[in-house]
Chain A
């Protein structure tokens, strides 16, 4: 099991200029913000289930950038059909990292379906995202970095994480219009 916060920070340390990062509702947004403020980040704080379609739309619009989505098992489970959409309208520049702690930690650590019989890697593969794999320890760090920057996507990586509450790290603004305009300025420049 991986400790998600330092793991996300390690992935985002010394990030390349061509990377843009999106995060789904919940701990994922606090995770990416903990790696340092960056105009090239856009974090969801609501609209659960919409981070995968958003990342797909972004990847389709910016084929020369590498798009990395960090999201949780709860957000992913809410819109499983979006995996089929990603698979059937593929983009080669999208990596989805599901930080799977098998629980809704922010609401009191109720178990999600992945604590039970459901497996997001198999669901991703069954949806048609063939480059899908699960990581349970940090030895696969180099493989993950290669997927993010160099492999032909779309890719989905399930990162099995400890289910523990982590400190909230707020984004630059909670105002969505401020966040998105700041993020878009990182693309125009």
Chain B
């Protein structure tokens, strides 16, 4: 009798979710991106995680800092285009030494179809570094979990801001079709 092999397709977003659970991150805010959708869905199914949909990414900075002041850890999910919206707000975790963690899905860098995504895609790491954010990057699926774990520990242990850039090479560039 041949055995039926079941291959469990494990998505790298599960690895991010596992870090959230392991480090007791209980609030996740976002302006959505397709790259984050499976992770957002996992968080929404979890009664211990508050998922907050924002109208602009910068509000996730204030929300995250207020949550920390009240004793809860959180993470902000956004697309690279949202990083530019956050610049002045990032003064808050910086000057208060409040741990801040964001996970950024990159656009405009690897096989991008939409030219409008390129400027902020190119600017994202520079802008974050200009604001003293420690930038981590994951280019391959099997390094996502360890990278997010390292960034989260950096943020919460040293009370600084950390960003994980999830590369478009890994997420995949969507090719749009007219009509």
B125 CB within 8 Å of chain A: no
Main SS class of interface, A: helix
Find the residue from A42, A56, A60, A79 having the highest chain B CB count within 10 A. A60
Contacts of B58 in A (CB 8 A): 49-50, 79
**Tally of A interface residues using CB under 8 Å:** 36
Contact, CB under 8 Å: B27 / A47 = no
A163 CB within 8 Å of chain B: no
CA distance A61 to B50 in the complex (A): 10
Residues of A whose CB lies within 8 Å of any CB of B are 22, 42, 44, 46-62, 79, 81-82, 84-85, 88-89, 175-177, 179-180, 183-184, 187-188
Contact, CB under 8 Å: A50 / B62 = yes
- Which bracket fits the contact residues of B? 20 to 34
CA distance A160 to B142 in the complex (A): 56
Stretch at the interface among B17-25, B87-95, B109-117, B165-173: B87-95
Q: A82 with B70: in contact, given A47-B92, A88-B53 (CB under 8 Å)?
A: no
Shortest Cβ-Cβ A-B pairs, 8 listed: A61-B70, A57-B66, A81-B55, A53-B62, A50-B62, A176-B96, A176-B95, A57-B67
Number of A-B contacts (CB under 8 A): 123
Contacts of B27 in A (CB 8 A): 57, 60-61
Contact, CB under 8 Å: A180 / B88 = no
CA distance A88 to B53 in the complex (A): 9
Contact, CB under 8 Å: B89 / A187 = no
Q: A85 with B52: in contact, given A180-B69, A187-B71 (CB under 8 Å)?
A: yes
Minimal Cβ-Cβ distance residue in A for B70: A61
